[in-house]
Amino acid sequence: MNVMGIIFANDANIGELTNQRTMASLPFGGRYRQIDFALSNLSCAGVRHVGIISRHNYQSLMNHIGNGEEWGLELEEGGLEFLTPYAQSVTHTYRGKLESLSNAMNFLEFGAEDELVVMIDSAILSNVDLVDILNKHVQSGKDITVVTKAGVANGEKLLDLAVKMENGEVADMVVDYAAPEGYLASMDMFVLNKKWMVQQVKEMIARDKFHMDRDLVLGGWQRGKVSVNVYEFQGVALFNESVEEFFYNSLALIKKDVRSDIFHGNHPVFTKVRDRVPTYYGEECDIENCLVADGCMLEGGVEDSVLFRQVTVGKDAEVEHCVIMNDAVIGEGAELKYAILDKNVTVTPGAKLIGTKKSPIIVRRGETV
Partner 1 sequence: MYFQKKRVIAMLLAGGQGSRLKVLTEKTAKPAVPFGGKYRIIDFPLSNCVNSGIDTVGILTQYQPLELNEYIGNGQPWGLNKTHSCAQVLPPYERHDKKSGWYKGTANAIYQNIDFVDRFDPDYVVVLSGDHIYKMDYAAMIAYHERHEASCTIAVRNVPLEEASRFGILNTNPDNSIYEFEEKPPVPKSTNASMGIYCFNWKVLREALIADEDDPKSSNDFGKNIIPKLLGAGHKMMAYPFDGYWKDVGTIASLWEANMELLGKEPAFDLRGDERFKIYARNSALPSSYIDEEAKIVNAFVAEGSEVYGTVKHSIISIGCTIGKDVVVEDSVVMPGVTIEDGAIVRNAILGENSVIRKNAVVGGAFGPQDKKKISVTSKNAVVEENSVLRPGDML
Among positions 244, 294, 316, 332, the unique one binding partner 1 when judged by CB under 8 A: 294
CB of 284 to partner 1, least distance (A): 8
Closer to partner 1 by CB, 37 or 190: give it.
37
Which of residues 194 and 309 has its CB atom nearest to partner 1 in the complex?
309
Site string for partner 1, 32-71 (x = CB under 8 A): -------------------------------------x--
Among 108, 287, 345, 353, binds partner 1 (CB under 8 A): 287
Residue in 7, 226, 292, 323 binding partner 1, rule: CB under 8 A: 292
Q: Which residues contact 188 (CB under 8 A, 6 or more apart)?
A: 8, 11, 119, 120, 121, 123, 124, 160, 161
Q: Is 155 left (phi over 0), alpha (psi -120 to 50) or beta?
A: left
CA-CA-CA-CA dihedral for 104, 107, 112, 115, to nearest 10 = -60
Rounded distance between C-alpha atoms, residue 294 and residue 301, angstroms? 17
- Min dist CB 356 to partner 1, Å, is 22
**Segment (H or E) for 6:** strand 3-8
Is-contact 16 131, C-beta < 8 A?
A: no
Of 5, 30, 300, 314, the residue at the interface with partner 1 (CB under 8 A) is: 30
The three-point CA angle 204-206-207 to 5° equals 65
Which residues, 6 or more positions from 108, have their beta carbon under 8 angstroms from its beta carbon? 4, 51, 101, 117, 194, 197, 198, 201
Q: Is 198 helix (H, G, I), strand (E, B) or coil?
A: helix
The CB-of-241 to partner 1 minimum distance in angstroms stands at 23
Options 6-14, 136-144, 188-196, 254-262: segment touching partner 1 (CB under 8 A): 254-262
Q: Which CB, 96 or 295, lies closer to partner 1?
A: 295
Under rule CB under 8 A, residue 318 binds partner 1: no
148 binds partner 1 (CB under 8 A): no
DSSP states along 20-46: SS-GGG-EETTTEETHHHHHHHHHHTT
Nearest to 316 by CA among 299, 337, 329: 299
Using the rule CB under 8 A, which residue among 122, 271, 326, 346 binds partner 1?
271
Task: Confirm or reject binding of residue 280 to partner 1 (CB under 8 A).
Answer: yes
**316 in contact with partner 1 (CB under 8 A):** no
Least distance between partner 1 and beta carbon 258 (Å): 11
Q: Is 256 in the site for partner 1 (CB under 8 A)?
A: yes
Q: Which residues bind partner 1 (CB under 8 A)?
A: 29-31, 69, 254, 256, 259, 263, 268-271, 273, 275, 277-283, 285-295, 303, 306-307
